[in-house]
A and B are shown apart, each in its own frame.
Chain A
Amino acid sequence: MAARRAIVATPAAWLVWGVVVAFFVFLAGVIGSVVVSSFGTRWFDTWLPLGWTPDWYAQAWDEFTLLPVLIVTLEVSALVVGISVLIGVPAAYVLARRGFPGRRLLYLLFLLPILMPPITYGIPLATVLYKYGFAGHLSGVVLANLVPSVPFVILTMTPFIEQIDPAVERAARMCGAGTRQVFVRILAPLLVPGILAASILVLVRTVGMFELTFLTAGPDSQTLVVALYYSMSAAGIRAQQSIDAMAVIYTSMMLVLLVLALRFVNPTQLVARVRDDGD
Chain B
Amino acid sequence: MSFETLRLDGVSRSFGGHEALAGLDLTIKRGEFIALLGPSGCGKSTALNCLAGLLPLTRGSIWQDGARLDVLPPERRGFGMVFQNYALFPHLSVRKNIAFGLQMRRVPRAEIRRRVDEALRLVHLEEHAGKLPGQLSGGQQQRVAIARAVVLEPALVLMDEPLSNLDAKLRLEMRTEIRRLHQSLGLTTVYVTHDQEEALSLADRLVVLRAGRVQQIGTPEQLHTEPANWHVADFMGYRNLLPLRAGPRDGTGIVVEFEGHRLTGTPVGDPAPGDEVIAGIRPEDLRIGPAGGPGVPAGSPGVAAGGPEVAAGSPEVPVGGAGVPATVEVVEYQGREVAVEARTDGGVALNLRTTDRPAIGDRITVSVEPRRLLVFPAGGAT
Nearest residue (CB) in B for A2 is B73
* Chain A proximity mask over B360-378: 1 for CB below 8 Å, otherwise 0: 0000000000000000000
In whole angstroms, how far apart are the Cα atoms of A4 and B53 in the complex? 10
CB of A5 within 8 Å of the partner chain: yes
B170 within 8 A of A: no
Taking a contact as CB atoms under 8 Å apart, the answer to whether B71 and A4 are in contact is: yes
Interface 1/0s, chain B 53-92, versus A by CB < 8 A?
A: 1101100000000000011111000000000000000000
Residues of chain A lying within 8 A (CB to CB) of residue B54? 1
Which residues of A in the span 1-39 have a Cβ within 8 Å of any Cβ on B? Answer: 1-5
Q: Which residues of B contact A3 (CB under 8 A)?
A: 53, 56-57, 70-73
Nearest chain B CB to A12 CB, angstrom units = 16
The smallest beta-carbon distance between B224 and chain A, in angstroms, is: 37
**In the complex, which residues of chain A have a beta carbon less than 8 angstroms from the beta carbon of B74?**
1
Query: Who on chain B is nearest to A5 by CB?
Result: B56
Q: What distance in Å separates the Cβ of A205 from its nearest Cβ neighbour in chain B?
A: 35
> Number of contacting residues on B, CB 8 A?
9
B53 proximity list for chain A (CB < 8 A): 1, 3
Tell me how far the C-beta of A245 lies from the nearest C-beta in chain B, rounded to whole angstroms.
47
What is the minimal beta-carbon distance from B236 to any residue of chain A, in angstroms? Answer: 34
* B233-267 CB contacts (< 8 Å) to partner A: none
B104 to chain A, nearest CB (A): 15
- Name which of A2, A3, A5 has the most chain B CB atoms within 10 A of its CB: A3
Chain A residues closer than 8 Å to B56, beta-carbon distance = 2-5
How far is it, in angstroms, between the C-alpha of A1 and the C-alpha of B71 when the chains are bound? 11
Docked Cα-Cα span, A1 to B55, in Å, equals: 7
Q: A3–B52 Cα gap in the complex (Å)? A: 10
Across the two chains, which residue of chain A brings its CB closest to B52?
Answer: A1
Q: Which residues of A contact B57 (CB under 8 A)?
A: 3
1/0 per residue, CB under 8 A from B, across A118-153: the answer is: 000000000000000000000000000000000000
0/1 interface trace, chain A 245-275, chain B, CB 8 Å (1 if under):
0000000000000000000000000000000
B233 to chain A, nearest CB (A): 37
How far apart are the CA atoms of A1 and B49 in the complex, in Å?
11
Closest Cβ of chain A to B280, distance in Å, is: 41
Question: Cα distance A159–B57 when bound, in Å?
Answer: 41
A2 to B57, CA, bound (A): 11
Nearest opposing residue in chain A for B57, CB measure: A3
Give the distance in Å from the alpha carbon of A2 to the alpha carbon of B73 in the complex.
Answer: 5
Q: Quick one: closest B residue to A4, CB to CB?
A: B56
A183 to chain B, nearest CB (A): 37
State the Cβ distance, A191 to closest chain B Cβ, in Å: 32
Q: Least Cβ distance of A43 to chain B in Å?
A: 49
Per the bound structure, the CA–CA distance linking A1 and B73 in Å amounts to 6
Least distance between A101 CB and chain B CB atoms (Å): 28
| Residues in chain B near residue A2, CB distance under 8 A | 56, 73
Residues of B within 8 Å of A5, CB to CB, are: 56
Q: Mark A74-85, 1 if CB is under 8 A from B, else 0.
A: 000000000000
CA distance A4 to B71 in the complex (A): 7
Question: What residue in chain A is nearest B70 (Cβ atoms)?
Answer: A3
Complex-state Cα separation, A3 to B75, whole angstroms: 11
Could you give 14 example pairs across A and B, Cβ below 8 Å?
A1-B53, A1-B54, A1-B74, A2-B56, A2-B73, A3-B53, A3-B56, A3-B57, A3-B70, A3-B71, A3-B72, A3-B73, A4-B56, A5-B56
The chain A residues found within 8 Å of chain B, CB to CB, are 1-5
Which A-B residue pairs are the 3 nearest by beta carbons? A3-B71, A2-B73, A3-B56
